[in-house]
A and B are shown apart, each in its own frame.
Chain A
Amino acid sequence: MTVGGLSVGLAKAPARRSRRIPPYVYLLIAVGALAVVSTVRVFTGATDLTSSGTVQAALTAAVPLAMAALGGVWTERAGVVNIGLEGMMVLGTFGAGYAGYQWGPWAGVVFGLILGLVAGLLHAVATVTFGVDHIVSGVAINLLAPGIALFLSKLYFADAPGGGQKQSPRLEDAAKVTLPGFSDLMGTIETKRWFFVSDLAGVLRGLTTQVSLLTLLAVVLIVATAWVLWRTPFGLRLRSCGESPSAAESLGVNVYKYKYLAVTASGAFAGLGGAFLAVSSGQFRDGQTAGRGFIGLAAMIFGNWRPGGLATGAGLFGYTDAMALRSADAVHALLLLLGIALIVVAAIQYRSGHYVLSGVAAAIGVLFGWWFFASDEVPPELVGAAPYVVTLLVLGLASQRLRPPKFVGEPYRRGQAV
């Protein structure tokens, strides 16, 4: 994977074209994974692993990550790296706080989106028009945005009722919906503690109880992104700007226009993610994003630059986040799950003939397993690091399966020869 910079260490041989995996395989994987989690649940007694409460909390935690990751997909698919997502999210949280406490949550969402969009436009001007290095511009935005947010926060919230120098007044949450009947039925099954069935019921109940309309909007946006980017001529052109801008240009695509659109949209998504965060946690606070823009970036990489993948990644990272807040037992059980996942990776790598990688994966997997059996709990300070560690492990142990856009991070001038 290149993000500009040196190409050393990249695989020389072109990756084999993988066969398209049919949907039922994904379903089987999901069922298998749930079966493993269920087994671990029974084995460790950590009921919070699959309780509806955890799933609900995970969903809430996952939405901002997914929005940031979605922003990442838009911009990187058009060939522009955006590590400024974090800063754009910060602006989104402020925007939601500012408009949200005065005119309601949806005004907050819109205002957060607009602030993110403006920051995205700034990144587009710097990287596309002026050809500034993408990373440099992103770092600058990450320096700039928290300053702006805190400056404005001191200006507008310090004297507002219930606000402070570093926080907004309370916000109203968006409306929540529950699937009537189904949710209660699942709740009954969940309490039976049956192997697998109760776990499935817990997950389904979590997904259908007290779901914020914001979450539903996020799901719609992910599906819409998948459709727009992969099923429309517009999407094909946008992605071609990230794969080979000169080829796109030769076919009459206005590469600058598409890059502008994509980067601006990515800012809007990140702003939306920030707004979700502020609205769902009830106020804007300084430092509220706490690196979520970066976790979003990680979710995007974990998801192989695809909407379905990033949703999975955001879901997983949201899950660890929710777990950290809810139950020490469940977090401890996560160690075992991580160990098992690594052993599976080791087996897959062994089958594809990557013996060294397989050995490393197995060794790390055994290490996590040993940690699980040798300890009673995971220090709470370390739990937050899980998404980052998982991303590094994925990059280090399974990166040949990742395929970023080919021209991502490279500078591009109209009419340049490649």
Chain B
Amino acid sequence: MRNLTLRSVLLGLAAPVGALVFAALLCAGILAVTGHSPVDTVDAMSASAQRPRTLVNSLNTAVSYYLSAVAVAIGFRMKLFNIGVDGQYRMAALLAAALAGAAFMEGVPPVLRVTMTVLASMLVGAAWAGIAALLKVTRGVSEVISTIMLNAIATYLVSYLNNPARLAEVNPGSNDVKTPDITAGGQVPGFEVTGSSSKVYGLVFLAVLVGFLYWFVLSRTRFGFELKATGLSESAAVASGVSVKKMVVISMLLSGAVAGLVGIPELLGASHSYSLNFPAGVGFIGIAVALLGRNHPIGMAVAALLWGFLFNTANSLDTAGVPREIVDIMQGVIVLSVVVAYELVRRYRVRAEQHAVGHALGRTKTAEEVSA
């Protein structure tokens, strides 16, 4: 383990904090140039942040963002880019919703019913990711390309299945199409918070559990070690007996299984059905959160909370006359500047290390010492 000196902690924080400050300043500049008041914007956001409901919603949003980030991070740790989390979670949420809402599930005891729903979502997510894994290990197809394609195919499949003629029904009194409602026995009740009309998802613990397992498997098991080793140096991993193909398949399946969970807290805690309004694009947000949190279980949690907070306070902006997309721009700028900042810090570290080594060597081997 690296030593935790003040210097290393400061260096580690420099990148994310610097990126946040940069993004905030840039967005303030954009607002000022386009004739909005940055101060009023912050004011509107902080006013909304003082409502308990906003905070509860932020936490709930962060739960799905966090799960998505963990799914992405599993791949990232072995240089496997699962861009397909987005398609995986939507397929999984739709099919799990259809299963949990099906009439025959009425007779199943609640605990078993919820467990079955969760397992089904994991299976679907893993299966969808498995296609990319299979193409990668048998045909060498880049998982980036195949998961981009699978995302698009998932979009069309979901719109095909989420249709009154197949798995869904028309929501009475609206144009919305959704899967049958999951009845009380299949739901996971949330926690009341005083002053807030929305509840904290009961499955917030699922995110905590997944985060813990992610940490435990990566840092306390042989599998985790091999996964990280493969990511650091594929050839070294092969030389030490790691079957990279097996690792690719297992980690892609794990990543897909976690991706399958992304929509579940929302599904079982609030919406109780998969509809046209189900959150979309969470898979890509997961990539941003994983990058910001550096694949670290705690770092990603902080990033997910920040992202959830920004997303929910953005709702207050439209009433303040500021397009809410300023938050999207801010998030995009944060991601781009944070990866640049991490790279700069990394280069600085390397240089500092070389400097230190050179310095140490220079002292033991000065010309006088050699000639003496």
Interface residues of A (CB under 8 A from B): 1-11, 81, 83, 122, 126, 130-133, 135-137, 139-148, 150-151, 154-155, 291, 294-295, 297-298, 301, 379, 381-382, 384-385, 388-389, 391-392, 395-396, 399
Contact = CB atoms under 8 A, between A and B. Distances in A.
Interface string B164-207: 00000000000000000000000000000000000000000000
Interface string B137-168: 11111111110111011011101100100000
Given A139-B284, A148-B332, A392-B153, 20 more contacts: A2-B142, A4-B81, A5-B80, A6-B80, A9-B245, A10-B140, A126-B340, A132-B339, A139-B335, A141-B336, A143-B285, A143-B331, A144-B335, A145-B332, A148-B325, A151-B328, A291-B155, A381-B156, A389-B153, A392-B146
Contacts of B144: 3-5, 81, 83, 135
Contacts of A1: 140-142, 145
18 contacts: A4-B79, A5-B80, A6-B79, A6-B136, A6-B244, A8-B137, A130-B340, A132-B340, A132-B343, A140-B288, A143-B335, A144-B333, A294-B152, A381-B159, A388-B152, A391-B145, A392-B135, A396-B139
A138 to B, nearest CB: 9
A3 B147 CA distance: 13
B302 to A, nearest CB: 19
B275 interface: no
A151 B145 contact: no
Contacts of A147: 325-329, 331-332
A5 B79 contact: yes
Query: For the complex, would chain B's binding face be called helix, strand, loop or mixed by DSSP majority?
Result: helix
Interface residues of B, number: 54
B248 interface: yes
B157 A385 contact: yes
Contact of B339 (A6, A136, A144): A136
A148 B26 CA distance: 13
Contacts of A83: 83, 144, 148
Interface in B127-141: 135-141
Contact of A155 (B34, B156, B339): B34
Interface in B242-288: 244-245, 248, 284-285, 287-288
B106 interface: no
Nearest to B136: A9
B280 to A, nearest CB: 11
Interface of B: 34, 78-81, 83, 135-146, 148-150, 152-153, 155-157, 159-160, 163, 230, 234, 244-245, 248, 284-285, 287-288, 291, 323, 325-329, 331-333, 335-336, 339-340, 343-344
A143 B281 CA distance: 10
A381 B288 contact: no
Query: For the complex, would chain A's binding face be called helix, strand, loop or mixed by DSSP majority?
Result: helix
Contacts of A155: 34, 323
Nearest to A149: B325
Nearest to B288: A143
Nearest to B318: A154
A174 to B, nearest CB: 29
B245 to A, nearest CB: 6
B288 A139 contact: yes
Contacts of A295: 152
Given A1-B142, A140-B288, A382 B156 contact: yes
A9 B343 contact: no
Contact of B244 (A8, A381, A384): A8
Contacts of A148: 325, 329, 332
Contacts of A143: 284-285, 288, 328, 331-332, 335
A301 B80 contact: no
Contact of A6 (B34, B135, B234, B326): B234
B26 to A, nearest CB: 11
Contact of A154 (B136, B152, B325): B325
Nearest to B81: A135
A131 B343 contact: yes
A1 B287 CA distance: 23
A137 B336 contact: yes
Contacts of B339: 126, 130, 132-133, 136-137, 140
Given A137-B336, A144-B332, A379 B149 contact: no
Nearest to B341: A130
A7 B137 CA distance: 10
A8 B149 contact: no
Contacts of A81: 144
B219 to A, nearest CB: 21
B336 A388 contact: no
Contacts of B156: 381-382, 384-385
Contacts of B138: 9
Contact of B142 (A5, A139, A291, A385): A5
Contact of A130 (B79, B328, B343): B343
A294 to B, nearest CB: 5
Contacts of A154: 323, 325
B128 to A, nearest CB: 12
